[in-house]
Amino acid sequence: MIPRLRRALEFERLEDRTVPAGVLAVGSGAGVAPQVVLFHDSNNDGIPDGAPYAAMSVLSANFRGGVRVAVGHFTNASNLQLVVAAGPGGTPLVQVFQLDFNDLPTGAFESFYAVGSGFNHGLFVARAHSQNAAFDSLVVTADAGGVPFVRIYNDAGGDVPFDHLLGNSLVDAFIAFGPGFRGGVRPAAGRNLLVFGSDFLALATGPGITARVMIIKDSNNNLAYSDNLGTREVFLPFGTGWTGGIYVAMGNVGSPSANPELIVSRDVGGNSRVLIFNDSNFDGFYSDDGGPAGSFLAYDPGFTGGVRIAYSRLSPTNFGQVGEVIVMPVSTARPVKIFRSQINTGEILDGDPPLAQFFPLGGNFIHGYFAAFGGNGV
């Protein structure tokens, strides 16, 4: 029996704001008490406000394995929800926090175990969407050390549809990269801009094998991806020489294709180069388009501390156009940076300045970040 609990949560409201188009959630990395801060873009310039509008303590106060985050319409199409999951060392706990019309936590949340409570290798979470679905799907994957499972939850399916709970809403489950792989599965998802297009799930490998990305299209828009594994694409974005693990994001960065761009970066030990692939020939694949459309160093050339990435569309004027690429350190006291590509190219190149850079948890914070954006059609 998987426990599903609803409890009240205390949070700190930091200031009053007019509600913008989406929420950027930033979770703390490993080595510090688990916390999440929430940002708006009040002046709609694609740059988060200078301070978070809410801060939350999540999971267990004694946990130090890092907080993985996702934002979406998981159980309520009117308001956003924030999902957090524990990194390594904790139980496989997922918490779903309800946000109100002002994107503030209401105090109510659901907790459930994505797998058996003995699993302590950590989880990743991401938001996915199937065309015409009532709600977004929650993707939950295993971190390093566990069987590389992928589990998809959607409140429109499962045991009790439309009951505003995710723990009883498992709609798909499968193994990625073979049952013997133990490096972890890093997920991301992106939506096709056309109403008749298929949406995409990207799964990237952690350390231990030649780094690769698996891309699966939900071609039949049925909330499941395992029935589309036969048409999946797998490729090596950094070639055959990198085995240290990669991170992945997806979103419409600015190319003319209606399909989202694929964004990849290296984990600890590699340089900070970020690659952006687009589907320039409109065939739904990324490895046959002549290499990356964009390539840039997120930090200085000597930095090898690892780069995590996220996609956002902070400004409502970006709807259906170009969003932002967010880069953040796996560790060390480096800033989170936000880049925007050239419209209709999907390019970000070396030397392109960031729109902004900031320290979500203070300039002395050295534990790295996890980030996710939700809302504004993403």
Does the structure show a pLDDT above 80 at 257? Answer: no
Compute the average pLDDT of residues 348-370: 93
Question: 280: pLDDT confidence band, cut at 50, 70 and 90?
Answer: confident
Question: For residues 249 and 272, what is the distance between their CA atoms, to the nearest angstrom?
Answer: 15
Q: What are the structure tokens assigned to 237, written together?
A: 């974005």
Question: 344: pLDDT confidence band, cut at 50, 70 and 90?
Answer: low
pLDDT tens-digit map of 65-120: 999 999 999 999 889 999 999 999 989 999 999 999 999 999 888 999 999 888 99
How much is the pLDDT for 17? 40
Model pTM?
0.92
Does the structure show a pLDDT above 50 at 351? Answer: yes
Do the Cβ atoms of 27 and 371 come closer than 8 Å? yes
Residue partners of 52: CB distance under 8 A and separation at least 6: 14, 26, 37, 38, 39, 360
Pick from 220, 245, 222: which is nearest to 231 by CA? 220
Compute the average pLDDT of residues 126-130: 89
CA distances from 136 to 70, 128, 204, 325 (A): 11, 6, 21, 21
How much is the pLDDT for 16? 42
Do the Cβ atoms of 224 and 218 come closer than 8 Å? yes
How much is the pLDDT for 14? 41
Position 27: which residue type?
G
pLDDT tens-digit map of 156-189: 988 899 999 999 999 999 999 998 999 999 999 9
Give the domain range for residue 349: 5-375
Compute the average pLDDT of residues 120-133: 89
Question: 8: pLDDT confidence band, cut at 50, 70 and 90?
Answer: very low
Q: Assign residue 73 the CATH number of its domain.
A: 2.120.10
Does the structure show a pLDDT above 50 at 346? Answer: yes
Does the structure show a pLDDT above 60 at 277? Answer: yes
Does the structure show a pLDDT above 80 at 321? Answer: no
Does the structure show a pLDDT above 70 at 211? Answer: yes
Which is more confidently placed, 220 or 227?
Answer: 227
Pick from 156, 149, 14, 166: which is nearest to 82 by CA? 166
Compute the average pLDDT of residues 206-223: 93
pLDDT tens-digit map of 260-270: 899 999 999 99
Question: 132: pLDDT confidence band, cut at 50, 70 and 90?
Answer: confident
Do the Cβ atoms of 257 and 280 come closer than 8 Å? yes
Does the structure show a pLDDT above 50 at 12? Answer: no
Does the structure show a pLDDT above 60 at 6? Answer: no
Give strand pairing partners of 187. Answer: 203
Does the structure show a pLDDT above 50 at 229? Answer: yes
pLDDT tens-digit map of 290-319: 899 999 999 999 999 999 999 998 865 554
Compute the average pLDDT of residues 144-154: 95
How much is the pLDDT for 282? 84
Q: How many domains does the chain have?
A: 1
As a whole-number percent, the residues of the chain with pLDDT over 70 amount to 90
Q: For residue 37, count other CB atoms closer than 10 A to its CB.
A: 22
- Strands in 105-113's sheet, in edge-to-edge order, are 5-8, 105-113, 93-99, 81-86, 67-72
